Amino acid sequence: MASLTVRQLDDRLKKLLRLRAARHGRSMEDEIRVILKAAADDAGRDGLDRDEPPARAARQRASSVVAEQKRVLLIIGGGIAAYKSLDLIRRLQDRGFAVRVILTAAAQHFVTPLAAGALAGERAFTDLFDPQSEFDVGHIRLARDADLIVVAPATADLMAKMAAGLADDLASAVLLATGKPMLLAPAMNPQMFAAKATQRNLARLTADGVQLIGPNAGEMAERSEAGLGRMAEPLEIAAAADALLRGAGVLAGMRFLVTSGPTAEPLDPVRVLANRSSGKQGHAIAAAAAAAGAEVVLVSGPVNLPDPPGVEVVHIETARQMLAAVEKALPADVAVFAAAVADWRPQEASQNKIKKHGKPPSIALVENPDILSTIAHRKSGRPKLVVGFAAETDNVIANAKAKLLKKGCDWILANDVSPATGIMGGDANTIHLVTAAGVEDWPPQSKDAVAHALVERIAVALKDGTT
Ligand code: C5P
């Protein structure tokens, strides 16, 4: 019943559902169940619309160029290295991928579908002829829904089946039914790996376009056995998967630099001058650029946010540290300055805690470097596109236009941060994009949606040469 429902949806709904399911780490069918349950619990409201209309609007706009969350189908073969594949699920998720898992019958002697499913966030698939799997997803859909198929460990037996085109279980049927890129992490005893039959199969598979990672040389599970045959480490496999998937993103080959969060300027060892910036917008931009295939360096002040997956994060505290980290991260194709940098810092930070006796101290302030302006005015090594933010409480557009000229940047994202808007620290944002060509008014939307819309706009501008 559920599979009929998914197939009958129109393409737009299917896409919406896929995005929502990926965001929640559920299968599309499970997502439908959640939506139906919500609708039944609360009849009369549209469960699909209710959650996140702003994000939906932006995703639809962004759909032409921005990469959606990439999906990896991990096939776990039957070898002792299978235990490492449980860690691989996490390492792939760390890079922002949705992971779905198939276990071969042999793999289930080493790890359980329950463990793999718990880590993946949806049940693991095991059986070609399981009516539940076929009605829910089906082996053809399993093959097609993925952006990349990773086989780890790829055993000698599984590779032999692939090379011969056999399809007598779920894993081999999916591998035969897919047109998607495949990454194999071979793992076996060194003699099995060196065997002529294995080498023949490997040569055929690589000629067919399959990518390999490893095997590495080292100790085997069996005592006193060593040689070429250890499965590549989960981090290496995740990095190889990342490289393959990024190759397909619209910002592949681009290097982004993003600043985010507040700066904290020390007054003494325990006190700082800081501001209310949450870093949500800058972090969302870094994550969206990475998801679209860019190599991203995020220079962040102190925030209560996790590092975005697939992004190199440099943590700093002060404006001067931020400038140094930004200069070190150059060259970049695009730089987005979303940090709320303190304009001033205490002239001197006291070595010891300032004591409370007598008169309150007067604090002399000095100006901090303007990081955006410094980078935008560079004679050499200036990024092709320099984007700044203008948080204004009045005359938003006029002030943003003046800032564009003064700071020397290419684009300004202007927003009204007067307290009534709730933008500072909140989840939503209303942006006016000010460029040399004019002003674009964007609808109110979540900071995530703004990030995707900006990345889409940047991808188009880089492609058309209209930065
Ligand atoms: O001058 P104002 O602070 O309004 O400018 C905001 C823009 O300039 C933001 O993009 C912010 O990241 C950047 N900026 C900066 N260094 C500063 C002050 C602001 O990069 N010292």
Asked if residue 231 has pLDDT above 70, the reply is yes
Question: How many Cα atoms are found within 13 Å in the side-chain-facing hemisphere of 374?
Answer: 13
Alpha carbon nearest to ligand 1 atom 2, residue:
390
Contact between 181 and 149 under an 8 Å Cβ cutoff? The reply is yes
Selected residue with higher pLDDT from 209 and 316: 316
Check if 414 has its Cβ closer than 6 Å to any atom of ligand 1: no
pTM, two decimal places? 0.65
Question: How many Cα atoms are found within 13 Å in the side-chain-facing hemisphere of 6?
Answer: 21
The tokens 């250890």 sit on which residue? Answer: 230
**Atom number, ligand 1, closest to the C-alpha of residue 387:** 10
What is d(CA 193, CA 199) in angstroms, rounded to the nearest whole number?
Answer: 7
Which tokens is 45 given? 């409201």
Outline which parts of the chain fall under CATH 3.40.50.10300: 255-346+363-464
Check if 415 has its Cβ closer than 6 Å to any atom of ligand 1: no
Selected residue with higher pLDDT from 9 and 430: 430
> Which of the 8 DSSP states describes residue 392?
E
pLDDT band at 52 (very low <50, low <70, confident <90, very high): very low
Check if 411 has its Cβ closer than 6 Å to any atom of ligand 1: no
- Catalytic residue, chosen from 189, 201, 216, 275, is 275
Which tokens is 259 given? 């600043």
Let me know how many helices (H) and strands (E) the chain has, helices first.
Answer: 19, 21
What is d(CA 37, CA 15) in angstroms, rounded to the nearest whole number?
Answer: 20
pLDDT at 340: 96
Q: Greatest CA separation found in the chain?
A: 87
pLDDT at 152: 98
Mean pLDDT on 85-111:
95
Beta strands in 40-141 (DSSP E): 71-76, 98-103
Asked if residue 427 has pLDDT above 70, the reply is yes
Which residue stretches of 165-195 are H helix?
Answer: 170-177, 190-194
Residue 455's φ and ψ, nearest 5 degrees, are: -65, -40
Contact between 42 and 118 under an 8 Å Cβ cutoff? The reply is no
Model pLDDT for residues 428-439, shown as the tens digit of each residue = 788 999 999 999
pLDDT band at 132 (very low <50, low <70, confident <90, very high): low
Q: Which residues pair with 446 in a beta bridge?
A: 428
Which CATH fold would you assign to the domain 71-246? Rossmann fold (3.40.50)
The closest of 257, 271, 275 to 425, measured between CA atoms, is: 275
Mean pLDDT on 135-155:
86
pLDDT band at 419 (very low <50, low <70, confident <90, very high): confident
In terms of phi and psi (left: phi > 0; alpha: psi -120 to 50; beta: otherwise), the region of 218 is left
Q: Which amino acid is at 376?
A: A
- Kindly report the average pLDDT of the chain as a whole number: 87
Mean pLDDT on 390-403:
92
275 part of the active site: yes
Mean pLDDT on 260-285:
95
The closest of 311, 335, 338 to 467, measured between CA atoms, is: 335
Question: Cα dihedral angle (173, 176, 179, 181), rounded to 10 degrees?
Answer: 90
Indicate the range of 16-25, 109-118, 210-219 predicted with least confidence: 16-25
Model pLDDT for residues 330-362, shown as the tens digit of each residue = 999 999 999 999 999 999 999 999 998 888 999
CA of 281 to the centre of ligand 1 (A): 14
pLDDT at 424: 64
The residues near 332 (Cβ < 8 Å, ≥ 6 apart) are: 255, 256, 257, 297, 383
Outline which parts of the chain fall under CATH 3.40.50.1950: 71-246
CA of 337 to the centre of ligand 1 (A): 7
Question: Cα dihedral angle (57, 284, 434, 326), rounded to 10 degrees?
Answer: -160
Which tokens is 194 given? 């060196």
Asked if residue 47 has pLDDT above 70, the reply is no
Residue 318's φ and ψ, nearest 5 degrees, are: -100, 165
CA of 167 to the centre of ligand 1 (A): 59
Mean pLDDT on 41-69:
43
- The CATH superfamily of 255-346+363-464 is CoaB-like (3.40.50.10300)
Q: How many residues does the chain have?
A: 467
> Which of the 8 DSSP states describes residue 125?
B
CA of 424 to the centre of ligand 1 (A): 15
pLDDT band at 56 (very low <50, low <70, confident <90, very high): very low
Asked if residue 10 has pLDDT above 60, the reply is yes
pLDDT band at 9 (very low <50, low <70, confident <90, very high): confident
